[in-house]
Structure formats: C-alpha cells, structure tokens
Structure 1
Amino acid sequence: MPEIHTHTFYHPDGRTLAWREAGSGRPLILLHGWAMSAVVFSEMQAALAGDFRVLAPDLRGHGGSSPGSGYALTDFAADLDAWLTALDLDTIDLLGWSLGGEVAQLLAAQYPQRVTRLALISSTPRFASTHDWEHGLPDVQIKAMARDLRRNYELTMNGFFSLQFTDEALERERYRQIVAFAVRAGRLPLPEVALAALETLRSEDLRPLLPQLVQPTLVLHGGRDRIIPVAAGRYLGTTLPAARYIEWPDVGHAPFMSRPQDSVTLWREFFA
C-alpha cells in the first residue's frame, strides 16, 4: 500500500494548513466534510495513489490545521488558493465531499483556470432549506443541532456521524470506524470551530454561482442520504452546465466509505 505523508503549509500570518499526500502524476485534491479531517480519505488516497498525486488538506480549524478568524466558504477557499499557489499547482482536479463540496464549488467558480475537473460527492449548493429551496435541512433542525453541540459536544457528534450511514450491519461497522478516528482519536475540531462552520452551512447559498461551473463535473449522491437530501444532488446534476449525475440508491451520506471499491473505480475513470 502506498505510503501517505503528512505535510504542513505555513501561512504568512502564522497559521498552518496540514495536508496528506500520496502518489505522483496529475494532482487530485480531496476536500473533506464538516467536523472531519483528511484522514477520512485514507482508503481512497491509498487506492488512487498509483494513478494520481493525491493531496488531501485539512480545512482551517479541522484536523491538523490552525483555527482562523472566520469560517465562511470564502475563508476556506482563500486558504486553499494560498496553499495551491505555494505548491505551484496551477491546474488541478478537485473533489469535495459535503461541506468540502461547497468549498469546491466556490473554488472552481473563483479559479476556473485552475480547476480542470470537478467531483461533488453528497454535496449541495445550499445546506438549509428556505422558502425557495426545499432540498435542504429545515432551519429549526440546524439550530437544534447547534444547541445540542453546546450542551454535549461529543454525544451530538456521535449522533451526526451515525446519520451518515444506513442501518445495515456493514454500514454500522463503517460508523464505528469513523467514530474511532474522528472522536476517540481526538480529531474533532474545537466546538467553536464546528459551530462557526455549521453557521456557514446554514447561511450560504451557492446557487447563483452554478452557471459558472463549466468544468466537467461528476455529481454522486446516495439515495438514502439523511444529511443532504438526494434532491439536492439531482438539482446539481440538472443545473450544472457539464454535469454527469450518478445516484446510488441504497447508500447514505458517505458513498466512498459505504462502497469504497466502486468509488475508486468511478473516481479513477472520471479523472483519467
């Protein structure tokens, strides 16, 4: 199995951005979801390292990356732009999962000359539902989650991670794995970071940017996603100018953990 190396980028303001890297060839960037870290992609990185130079950064305040003064999508994207510039990565393929998918959408819109191809896994242009957007979580549910995070942070995170999977035995084992590396290994972000990033998810709306995403785009969504409704993935699939939409009916919010080999095959084929 290819070795995954951990590196650190130092911002001019003293903050750090950690990333994990494996393989060689054309750069493929993997962006993790809310309250997670790049470690969640370990299996995918190892499997794809024979075909690509796979880099998985920790978003600010997550994993080994320093907290910042803000957690808007523009803040996450600015960090990544500075990091990519420092590595002289002028053109990349980009994959984002969940929150990472929203960051990826913004990055691809802001830097179309840099992002060659785009993959959005269990993603959405808007996380919260509104009067004109029915494909998100109700605002009252997101606010209740924020309240629960303040009351019992780790217990609420455990509950959130459980929602990423269906109830089958194999899925329960995947849930135990994600809790083991995210919660018990002490890799959760600080509560204030998680709450600020959750507010970003609640408030930001990327729908106006979608016509700008002209890159060939893979949209993959699970039909049993309990965090981002499958209707949001279908919307991306029909709205993005160059989208290829794939739906796995029996999968939840983490397709690459539920069906890792199928994900490797799909990603390798799309980015080839």
Structure 2
Amino acid sequence: MSTSSGPEGTPLGDHPTPPPAQYTPLAAGNRVAYRTWGAPTAPPVVLLHGRTTNSTDWTDIAEALSATRRVYAPDIRGHGLSDWPGGYHYPQLVADIAEFIDALGLERVDLVGHSMGGAIALQVAQSRPEKITRIVLEDALPPFPLVPARATDPRPPQEEIDALDYDWDLIPATDEGANHPHPEWEAGLSKIAAPVLVVSGGEASFLSDAEQQKLTDLLPDARRVTIPVGHLIHRNDPDGFLAELRAFGIY
C-alpha cells in the first residue's frame, strides 16, 4: 500500500492486492516498473497515474478493465518502484512513456491519464499519433498555464523526504510545467486525431470547469462529461468512472 499527498493525491487507503511489478529498461538506462492485468492477447490500455501516486492507485479500475483488456500501468519516473534518476520536467516524463510503449511492442493502445498522467497522455498522443486509438483524460492538467498559478511548497525536512515513495524533486519540476507549459503542447492538440473523453471532477476539483472546457474545445474530437466528486474521480466514484469508460468503448 502506498501513501500520497498534495492536490493530486490523497492517502490511497486499502486496495485489493495488486500484481507484482515487472520492469523494463529504457535507452537512457533507467528502469520503468509496471503492473499488468488481463489476458496478454487482449487489446492494450495504458493507465497513467497522477503525481505522487503510482501504478497501484489503478488497482480497482485495472481489475475491472481486465475482463476485456490487457492493462498496463507504469510507475512514472520518480514514483513508486521505477527509478528516480532526476530530470522530472514534462518532456522527460513524456519521452519515458512513449519509449515504454515502444519497448513493450504495443502497436495501438488506448491511454487513460489522471491529472499529471493526463498531461503526459496528451503529449504522448502528439509525439506518437499513429499509436493511440482513444484517450481518456481524468481531470487532466491542461497544456496551458494554470490560473491561479500553482505555488510550490517549501522543501520539507530531509527525514520527511526520505519517507516518501516518490522523489520530492519532481514537485518543483512539474509545478513549473503546469505554470509555464511549452506553447507547442497547446498548439499540438490539433495533431491528436484520436477521440478524447474529458472527465472532469466539477466544483470540488482544484481544476476549474473553464479550464476543462477550454481543453475540450481545443481538441479536434473530444467530448466532456462531469462526475462531480472532485479531482480523484476514479477513487471517489469508481463505478461512475467505469460507466463513462464503458460508454466510450474502453471496455
């Protein structure tokens, strides 16, 4: 069981036991840990977690999806059992996930991304449009500056950092990416041909409805639904989240 903190995560609580982690090396030498569910021959879906959590955060959702899908959930660099090599700006996170998909030999995948994972999913879809069939953005960080800007908390004492199951150095790096995203990320939305489902958390989320609607409007083929339970939609209303995935054709 893992613990998370901050606006993109809360204590994860009890889960069914997730499958053991597997590992794949990337070209830069760092390893990505990931977990799988479902039959190896089933159509693949990749789940990208939010900041400060890890692949185990998807356990309930992944078990449901595994009835019809091969589910892959990586620990994004600096989280969980993946390596913590430093370098946590979005281009590095995106490159890791694109390479992860290639390393596993996945030809066509659906992407589901929560918060930070949603921002990564959007950028992977820009760099690998031929690989992506559908995209689900669960209260995703948008590719334009957050308003108000996110303030990074002061660096905590080292003993607190040592107790975390993520690398604290990713916090300022990803805050910078949320506050000052590269303009090409927003411009590149027009390259995304895959249909996109934008699932927003409503007024209880720290991401505004206006931001989520703007993101939806900028995508060529997107529709938006609201599940008004806050930022952690798949945790707070798993049945509602799965129902939207089912309607979208994810399983």
Give the letter aligned to residue 89 of structure 2.
A
Q: How does 1:9-88 map to 2 (within 5 A)?
A: 9-24=24-39, 25-88=42-105
SS in 1 for 2:21: strand
* Separation (CA, whole Å) in 1 of partners of 2:204 and 2:144: 13
Q: How does 1:126-141 map to 2 (within 5 A)?
A: 126=143, 128=145, 136-139=146-149
Gap change, CA 1:152 and 1:203, over 3 Å in 2? farther
TM-superposition CA deviations, 1:56-100 (whole Å, max 9, x none): 111111111112342222211211122211211011000111111
Q: CA deviation at 1:3?
A: 6.3
Q: CA deviation at 1:2?
A: 9.4
* Separation (CA, whole Å) in 2 of partners of 1:137 and 1:189: 26
Of the candidates 105, 108, 118, which is equivalent to residue 91 of structure 1?
108
Of the candidates 172, 179, 189, which is equivalent to residue 202 of structure 1?
179
Q: How does 1:214-233 map to 2 (within 5 A)?
A: 214-233=193-212
Gap change, CA 1:153 and 1:196, over 3 Å in 2? farther
Bigger CA drift: 52-61 or 234-243?
Answer: 234-243
Q: Output the TM-score relative to the length of structure 1.
A: 0.77
Partner of 1:133: none
* Separation (CA, whole Å) in 2 of partners of 1:153 and 1:268: 44
Give the letter aligned to residue 15 of structure 1.
N
Give the letter aligned to residue 46 of structure 2.
I
* Separation (CA, whole Å) in 1 of partners of 2:66 and 2:120: 23
Give the letter aligned to residue 228 of structure 1.
L
The answer to whether the 8 A contact 2:144-2:186 is kept is no
The answer to whether the 8 A contact 1:62-1:189 is kept is yes
Of the candidates 165, 190, 193, which is equivalent to residue 167 of structure 2?
190
Q: CA deviation at 1:11?
A: 2.2
Partner of 1:257: 235
* Higher helix fraction (1 or 2): 1
The answer to whether the 8 A contact 2:19-2:35 is kept is yes
Aligned residues: 231
Bigger CA drift: 29-38 or 119-128?
Answer: 119-128
Q: Output the TM-score relative to the length of structure 2.
A: 0.83
Unaligned ranges ≥5, structure 1: 129-135, 158-182
% identity of equivalent residues? 29
Gap change, CA 1:113 and 1:69, over 3 Å in 2? same
Please tell me the root mean square deviation across aligned C-alpha atoms, in Å. 2.4
